Every structure is written in structure tokens, then in C-alpha cells.
Structure 1
Amino acid sequence: MICNVCKAREAEVYQPHSGKRLCRKCFIEDVRARVKEESLKIGLDKANKILLAVSGGKDSYVLADTLVSFIDPQKLIAYNIIEGIHGYNRREQIEQLRKYLSSLGIELIEDSFKQSVGYTLDEMMKYSIGKGLNVSACTFCGGFRRKLINNAGRAVSADYVATGHNLDDEVQAIIINLIRGDLLRLIRFADKPIKLSSKFVLRVKPLRKVYEWETTLYAYYSGYQFQELECPYISTRPTLRAKVRELLYMLEDKKPGTLLTILEEFDKLAEKVRNQTQLKEELPTCKICGEPTSYGREICKNCELLISAGLLNYHQNLPMS
């Protein structure tokens, strides 16, 4: 069957959400076009410096590859965090990531939870479980990753931090926050970023309208050897996100394009809510680490978790030995 776009090459990909059959080249161009459209809408092309938060997975590769197709690589700098998960974080994966980014002209900065927080994720979970806390690894990991990524963005004077969150990730996050009733966090997931603290670097998601299966196929067609191993904490203790993901995949299977529809309608709704909501100008800062925290909180969630796990002395503000 012939590609619906170029009408010259053999089609290799069927897009259920568009009904198109695409050849390999037109498929890659289709993904790049959507990433470029989303990026231009938020002004990435006008930025002087963009920090790319990369993990080494398929989305990281697609993020870097699509952005360098229309942005000068000298304006991009990558940042990777080693969480410290036994059997999951591998040195060869980081070296492969560095080699690939270097081929694109992008520098890679390395960091780790051990170096910047004082503990690996495995250590945090060990102490947390020892204290009888019912806290998932994703809660520790997500909070500290966001904090370190933002700090790195500030350190390099980035105008934006770009993450590799795809369409599946984005819609899952929307549904989760709807369930939790977190209006403020919800409207920050929309297409136009909101800056609620002078200490925040605006976070953007250029892949937010690209399906996860598309990033996987894009990486495969481009010959990337990305990490396929799933984080062991997800399989040993399924989170709300995992359950929401399963439900959304069922809906998408029954009606292709459902995820895109949810995201596009959410963006419209978020715009209306933002126009009608009085947002406070500046988030308060944590009394311990000095980083932004939620309204009404004196201590940020990250520091609170370390205190609860017995890893941080609140009075001395020092890691526990």
C-alpha cells in the first residue's frame, strides 16, 4: 500500500488516530512537524538556552532529535539524573546517551540523587519502609527529579526546561490530578506554561501531542538503542498512574484519537479557568531548602519526606548519618 502523504513510497505505519498510512520518512516528518508546531507555540525557537531533561529512554532521544531539526544545538544543553536504582541505572546507558547527544552537538551534564540529595532512591525507600511509611518510590523520585531539574535549569540560565513527556504521559497526569481535585496543578499542565515563582524555570513538553507508540517507533526507525527495561518499582508496586494508563489504553483502543481529544479539550478548558482564576504571584519558599513550595506550606514535600523517613534533621537541616 502506498503512503497517503508522499504517494510514492510504500506505507509502513498506520496511524489509528488520523487514519493515515505513512512511509517511514513521512512518519518521521509527521512527528517532527507536531513537535515543531508545539515548540513554536510556546516560543522555544526564540530561547537563548534550553535545558533538556533526558533519561536515556526513547522519549529523550526523540526530544533531542526533533528539536535539533529546527533549533541550533548550541542553544541546547542536556541534563541527566542517576536515581540510584539497583539493576536499572547502568553506566553504559549513560555513555551511549552522551555519545549520541555529542553527535548532535549537545553537551550532557550528569547528576545523581546520591550527589545532590545525599541518598540514592533505593536508600530513600529502604529508610521509608523501615519507618513504616506508605509512600511509593515514584513520590520520592518525581519530587526530587523536578527539584534537581529546576536547579540545573537555573544554574545554566536556561529560558526553558524541556522534558520528554509524551501524549500518554500528559493525559495520564491530567486524569490523575482530576481525581485528586488539584486545580492549580491541573492548569499548569496546559499548553501554555505558568510561572508561579521567580525560582522556577518554565517547564515545557514539546512531545505532548505525540503518542508513546510513535516515540517508540521513531526511535526504532532511527536506529536508537534505548533502554527498554521498566523501572522495577513500577512493577513491584503499581501506582495510580499505572491504573489510569491501563484505562486510557482501553479507551484509545475502542476509539482511536481519544487521548488527543482529551488533551486538546483540556487545553481549551484550562485557558478559560486561567482567565477566571486569581493566581497568587509568588509561591512561598521552604524553610529548610529555600526552594518553592505549595501555598500554605512552610516545608516542601521533598524535605517533609526526608524528615519522615529519618533522613533529615529538621532542626539542624543536615542529613542523618
Structure 2
Amino acid sequence: MKCDICGSRNARVYQKHTGRRLCDSCFLENVRNRVRLEAIRLGLGNAKKILLAVSGGKDSLVLADTISSFLDPGRLVAFNIMEGIEGYNRESQVKELERYLRDLGVELIGTSFKDGVGYSLDEIVRASQGRGLKISACTFCGGFRRKLINQAGRDVGADLVATGHNLDDEVQTIIINLLRGDVKKLVRVGDLPVKLSDKFVTRVKPLRKIYEWETTMYAYFKGFKFQETECPYISSRPTMRSKVRDLMYAIEDESPGSLLRILETYDKIAETVRRSSSLGELPTCRICGEPTSFGREICKNCELLISSGLLKSDL
């Protein structure tokens, strides 16, 4: 069967949400064009410097490849974090990532939880478990990753931080926030989040309208070598996100295009909330000096370290 776009090459991909069959070349171009349109809408075209948060997984490689296809790679700086998870983080993967980014003309910088936080993720988890705390590794990891990425964005003078979150990631986050009743995150998680502190570098997600299966096929067609091993903490203690993910896949399979429709509806709601929002500047943590939530003197990250016995506070 021939490609529905070029009509000359054999189709290799079926886009259920559009009903089109595409060859590998037209599929790659389709993804690049959709990323470019979203990136320009999010302001990447006007940014002088952009920090790309890259893990070495398929999504971050697709992010770097698509963004560098229409923006000067000299405006991009990639940033990688080694969380310190035994059997998961490997130096060889970072070297492969560095080689690939070098070929694109993109500089790679990085840090680790050990250097940036003082403890590896494994050490933090063990300390919390030793105190009988039932805090998932993902809670620690997500908060400290966001902090380190934001710090890196400030350090390099980036106008924007771009992450590799895809459509599946975004919709899962939307559903999780709704299940938790966290309406305030409509402002913070939308397509154009409100900047509530001068210490925050605005984060954008150019892949937010690209399905995860599409980033997988993009990586496959490009021949990327990426980390395929799932984080051991996910399998050892399934999170709400993993449960929501299974639900979203079932809905999408039954009604192709559902995830895109959920995201588009969410963006409209988020825009309404932003227009009516009068939130001021976020307070800063009395320990680390980073922004924290309204009504809090200590940020969640420092609170987690204190509860795990890894940080002492007289406050």
C-alpha cells in the first residue's frame, strides 16, 4: 500500500488518529512539522538561548533532532542529569547521547543528584525507607529534577527550557491533577504556564501534541540508540501515573484521537483560568532560597530531605 502523502513510497506507519498511512520519510516530516508549529507557537523562534532537558531516552533524542532541524543548534544547550539509580544510569549512555548531540552541533552539559542535591536517588530512597516513610521514588526524583533543570536554565541564561514530554505524558498529568483535585495546576501545567517567580525559567513542551508511539517510531526510523530499560522504581512500586496510563491507552484504542481532544480542551480551560488568575510572586524557601508554594516557608524538596533525615533544620 502506497503512502497517502507522497503516493510513491510504500506506507510503513498507520496514524489511527488521522486515518492516514505514511511512508517513513513522510512520517518523519509530519512529526517535524507538527513539532515546529507547536514550538513556534510556544515562543522558541524568538528565544536567544534554549535549554533542552535530555535524559538519553527516545523522547529527548526526538526533541533534540526535531528542534535542531529548524533552529540554529548554536542557540541550544542540552542538559542531562544522572539520578544515581543502580543498574539504570550508565556512563555509556551519556557518552552515546553526547556523541549524537555533537553531530547535531548541540552542546551537552550535565550534573548528578549526588553533585546537585548531595545524595543519589538511591541514597535518598534508602534513607526515607529507613525512617519508615512511604514516599515513592518518583516523588523525590520529579521534584529534584525540576529544581536542577531550572537551576541549569538560569546558569546558562536560557530564555526557555524545553522538555521532551509527549502527548501521553501531558494527558496523564491532566487526569492525575483532576483526580487529586489540584485545580491550581491548570495554571502551572497548561501549554503557556504563568511565570510566578523571576527565579523560574519558563518551561515549554514542543512534543506535547506528538503521541508516544510516534516518538518511538521516529526514533526507530532514525536509528537512534537510546535507553530502553524502564526505571526499576516504576516496576517495583507502580504509581498513579502508570495506572492512568493504562486507562488512557484503552480510551485511545477505542476512540483514536481522544488524547489530542483531551489536551485541546484542557488548553482552553487553562487559558480561561490564566485570564482570571491574580496570583502574585511565589515566596522563597527559607532553607535553599528557591521558590516554594503559597503559604509554605520550606519548599517540598527541602521538606522531603528533612523528613528523610538527610537535612537538618532549626526552622
- Both structures adopt the same fold (TM-score exceeding 0.5): yes
The letter of the residue matching 1:292 is P
Alignment of 1:141-152 (within 5 A): 141-152=141-152
Local SS of the residue matching 2:189: coil
Give deviations 1:252-307, integer Å, cap 9, x for gaps. Answer: 11111110010011101111121122222x10000000000000000000000000
Give deviations 1:171-204, integer Å, cap 9, x for gaps. Answer: 0001111111112222222221321100000000
8 Å contact 1:178–1:186 — kept in the other structure? no
Q: Distance in 1 between matches of 2:115 and 2:314?
A: 22
Are 2:293 and 1:314 aligned?
no
Local SS of the residue matching 2:45: helix
Local SS of the residue matching 1:18: coil
Q: Distance in 1 between matches of 2:213 and 2:56?
A: 17
Local SS of the residue matching 2:161: strand
1:315 positional shift: 2.7
Local SS of the residue matching 1:110: strand
The letter of the residue matching 1:283 is L
Moved more, 264-273 or 282-291: 264-273
Q: Distance in 2 between matches of 1:101 and 1:35?
A: 18
Alignment match, 1:127: 127
- RMSD over equivalenced CA pairs, Å: 0.9
Alignment match, 2:174: 174
Alignment match, 1:87: 87
Alignment match, 1:193: 193
1:72 positional shift: 0.2
- Extract unaligned runs of 5+ from structure 1: 317-321
- Extract unaligned runs of 5+ from structure 2: none
Alignment of 1:217-256 (within 5 A): 217-256=217-256
Q: Distance in 2 between matches of 1:16 and 1:157?
A: 41
Q: Structure 2 length as normaliser, TM-score?
A: 0.99
Alignment match, 2:298: 299
Alignment of 1:272-283 (within 5 A): 272-280=272-280, 282-283=281-282
8 Å contact 2:194–2:274 — kept in the other structure? no
* Identity across matched positions, percent: 66
Q: Distance in 1 between matches of 2:279 and 2:3?
A: 48
Q: Distance in 2 between matches of 1:230 and 1:199?
A: 32
Alignment match, 2:34: 34
1:90 positional shift: 0.6
Give the number of aligned pairs: 315
Alignment match, 2:116: 116
The letter of the residue matching 1:299 is I
Which portions of structure 1, spanning 4 or more consecutive aligned residues, are displaced by more than 3 angstroms?
none
Alignment match, 1:319: none
